[in-house]
Structure 1
Amino acid sequence: MSKSARNKTAKNVLTQREVPWGGIAFFTVIGLVAVIAIGYAYLQTRPSSADDSIKGLVTKDGLGRGHVAGTVEYDTDPPMGGDHNPVWQNCDGHVYDAPLQNEHAVHALEHGAVWITYRPGLAADQLASLKSKVSGTDYTLLSPYPSEDSPVTLTAWGKQLKLQNASDPRVDEFLRAFVKGPQTPEPGAACSGGKDTP
C-alpha cells in the first residue's frame, strides 16, 4: 500500500468532526415547545366552533367583571355576565327549587358554570331531565326563572341559548362546549363554598 493511500485511510484527529447530537436534540425540543405554545395560544384566541354549530346561540362580549354590593341592572334576562356579587352561587351540580339572585349566579358563570333556568310550570318529565343532567355535571346549576321568555334557557359567560324543550339535543352540545369553556374568565375557580341557598 502506498504512503498516500495510507494517509487517506488514516483519520486525522485534528480535522475530524463529530456530529453535535446534544445541541441538535436541545434545539429540536425547544422548537417543538415553541410550536406547541404558539398553537395552544392560537386555539385559545379562536372563536369557539360551537358558536357556529349551535343553532340559535347568542353571544355577548365586553361584559364587566367587577364585584359590587346590591342589585345590578342586566340587559339580558337571565343575565349572561357582567358585574356581580363577590360571593358566587354554588354550582357543583346544584338544583335549586326557587329563583336565584342574578348577582350570585353571574359570579358562578364567571367561574365556568352553565346556569340552566326554566319557566315555572315546565312539564315534570322535562324538569326531571334537566335535574338529571345538572346533578351529574360539575359546574352547572339549575333554577326556576319566573320572567323567562322561553321554557328553558342555558346560560354561560357571554353565551345563551333559549329552547322550547328540555330534550333538545342542543342542551348536551351547550354543556360540552361551555362548561369551563374557552369563554370562561376564571376557568376552574371554586364552584362550592359560596352561596348555597336561593
Structure 2
Amino acid sequence: MANGTTGKKGTPKNAMKAARSSSVVSKKGTPWGTIIAVVAIVALAASVFTYYMVQSAPKRGQADREAAAASYAPNPQDPDPSKRIPGVVAQQYAGQAHVMPTERVAYDHSPPFGGPHDNYWAACNGVVYPNPVRNENMVHPLEHGAIWIAYNADQVKGDDLNLLKARVTGKTYMMMSPYPGLDKPISLQSWGHQLKLDKADDPRIDQFIAALRTNPNGVYPEIGASCDAMGPGQFDPNNPPPFDPSKPGPDAKPMDYKGSAGANTDMPGQQPSKPAGQ
C-alpha cells in the first residue's frame, strides 16, 4: 500500500483539502464593493476638507489681518488714527439732515461719505448686499459709526471678493455693496472719511476699519445709534431701495440742506434730531 491515505480516485487527502480551500477563496472573491465604498468615502472627506480650507481661508486669515491693524485702534492720545493712513480723504459734514424716501441728494463724492441722507438707515450689522443700494440710505449708517465697503463688481471677483466679505459678514457696524461706476476697485467710507484702493489684500483696509468703526472720539455724529435692520416699510435689507445711476436732477437736495419737513422725526435707535441750523 502506498504511503499516505488517498481519497477518491487516488487523490491524496492533503491535495483535496488544498483544493477545497482554493475553491472557498475563489467563491469569496475580492470585496470590491467595500473597497470602492471606502475609497469613495475617503475621497469625499478629502474634497470636503479641501473645500473647507479654500472657502474658510479668508476668514481664518482675517484674524491675522485684524491683529496686524490693532495699533490703529483709537485711544485718548491718538483719537483719529486714520490720519496716519496714507490715502485717506477727510471732510467735515454736519449730521442729522434727513430727506424723504422719494428725494435725492446731490452728493459731492462718489460714493458719498457724509451729508444729508434718508431718515431710514440701511442695516449695517454685518450685511453684504448683493446689489447696489440707494446712496441716501447707505450714508445714514455712517452717521452711526459704521463702515461701508463699496466695490466695483467688474473688477473685484472671486478670492478678492471673499477677502472683502470676510471683513464684513456678521460684524456689527459693517456693511458692503457693489457700486456701479466706481473709479477704483474698492472704496471705504466712514462718516467724513474715505479711502480708495486697488487691492483687496491692502492692509490699509483693516487699518481704516480699526481706526474709524464706532470710534468714540467725535468722528461721527450719533454715538450709540443702532445698526439693526428697521424692517419692511422702513428699510428691509432683503429688499432695499435700489441704487439710482442717473445724475441727480435740479430738485436734488444740496450738501448744505437742513432736512425735509416730516423726515427729521426721531426714530428708535437714533439720536434726537437737532433743529435745522443747529
- Scaled to the shorter chain, the TM-score interval is 0.7 to 0.9
Q: Aligned residue for 2:226?
A: 190
The residue correspondences of 1:18-97 to structure 2 (distance < 5 A) are 43=76, 48-51=80-83, 53-69=84-100, 70-97=103-130
Where does structure 1 lack aligned partners over 5 or more consecutive residues? 1-42
Count how many residue pairs are aligned between Structure 1 and Structure 2: 155
Larger radius of gyration: 2
Cα offset, 1:103, TM superposition = 0.6
2:145 to 107, 112, 117: 112
Residues 56 and 148 (structure 1), Cα distance of their counterparts in 2 relative to 1, 3 Å cut: same
Over aligned residues, Cα RMSD in angstroms? Answer: 1.8
Q: Aligned residue for 2:56?
A: none
Q: Deviations over 1:111-139 (max 9, x none)?
A: 11100000012131111111111014210
- Alignment partner of 1:177 is 2:208: no
Cα offset, 1:47, TM superposition = 5.7
2:164 to 116, 120, 130: 130
If the length of structure 1 is used for normalisation, what is the TM-score? 0.74
Q: Distance in 1 between matches of 2:149 and 2:110?
A: 12
Q: Distance in 2 between matches of 1:126 and 1:57?
A: 21
Q: Which runs of 4+ in 1 moved over 2 A?
A: 62-65
2:183 to 146, 149, 152: 149
The residue identity in structure 2 corresponding to 1:50 is S
1:168 to 179, 191, 202: 202
Q: Kindly indicate whether the alpha-carbon contact (under 8 Å) linking 2:113 and 2:192 is maintained by their aligned counterparts in 1.
A: yes
Q: Secondary structure at the match of 2:86?
A: coil
Cα offset, 1:62, TM superposition = 3.2
Q: Secondary structure at the match of 1:167?
A: coil
Q: Secondary structure at the match of 2:113?
A: coil
Q: Secondary structure at the match of 1:154?
A: strand
Q: Distance in 2 between matches of 1:184 and 1:62?
A: 9
